[in-house]
């Protein structure tokens, strides 16, 4: 008698393995977005696919403490921890924004085992800015 072929059409029957532990990433890009109110760190591979991310809000900071140097350091260490376990050794750093968290983020990256190949400031700067509002009437 022929053996029945199991149906895998239903998603509930199939066990889906996690890909995070399977991927090996030797090189990557660390994007730090530091505003006055928050610090967001995103770690991607060379092609731009997000591997790990963290922000001051998700790390438990509330209110004005989210924009501090300490918050930036803890956020970066939290985002990098998962990527170091996946084998990342070298990284480029793209820093955007005027916030204080950018200093803490750089400190945390230097303390980690990742060697930096490039540090670039990608803060958008206006060439001429927006058109000013019309003159006020009396």
Examine residue 102 and state whether it is found in any structural domain, yes or no: yes
pLDDT for res 98: 93
- pLDDT above 80 (res 134): yes
pLDDT for res 25: 86
Of 101, 102, 100, 138, residue with least CA distance to 120: 102
Examine residue 55 and state whether it is found in any structural domain, yes or no: yes
Q: How many domains does the chain have?
A: 1
Average pLDDT over residues 61-68: 91
- pLDDT above 60 (res 11): no
Examine residue 62 and state whether it is found in any structural domain, yes or no: yes
Examine residue 93 and state whether it is found in any structural domain, yes or no: yes
Of 58, 109, 62, residue with least CA distance to 83: 109
- Measured torsion, CA atoms of residues 109, 111, 114, 118, in degrees rounded to the nearest 10: 50
pLDDT for res 16: 55
What's the pLDDT band for 123 if we cut at 50, 70, 90?
very high
- pLDDT above 90 (res 38): yes
More confident residue, 24 or 52: 52
Average pLDDT over residues 75-96: 93
Average pLDDT over residues 53-73: 92
- How many Å apart are CA 74 and CA 80, to the nearest integer? 10
Examine residue 10 and state whether it is found in any structural domain, yes or no: no
3-state helix, strand and coil shares in percent for the chain, rounded to the nearest 5: 25, 25, 50
Examine residue 107 and state whether it is found in any structural domain, yes or no: yes
Examine residue 90 and state whether it is found in any structural domain, yes or no: yes
Examine residue 42 and state whether it is found in any structural domain, yes or no: yes
Domain containing 116: what range? 27-121
CATH code, 89: 3.30.420.80
């Amino acid at each position: 008698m022929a053996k029945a072929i199991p149906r895998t059409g239903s998603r509930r029957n199939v066990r889906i393995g996690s890909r995070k532990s399977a991927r090996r990433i030797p090189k990557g890009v660390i994007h730090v977005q530091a505003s006055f109110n928050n610090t967001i760190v995103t770690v991607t591979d060379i092609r731009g696919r997000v591997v790990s991310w963290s922000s001051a809000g998700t790390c438990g900071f509330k209110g004005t403490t989210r924009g501090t140097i300490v918050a930036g350091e803890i956020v970066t260490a939290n985002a990098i921890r998962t990527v170091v376990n996946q084998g990342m050794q070298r990284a480029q750093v793209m820093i955007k924004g005027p916030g204080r968290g950018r200093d803490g983020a750089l400190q945390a990256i230097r303390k980690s085992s990742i060697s930096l190949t490039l540090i670039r400031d990608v803060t958008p700067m206006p060439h001429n800015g927006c058109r000013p509002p019309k003159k006020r009437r009396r």
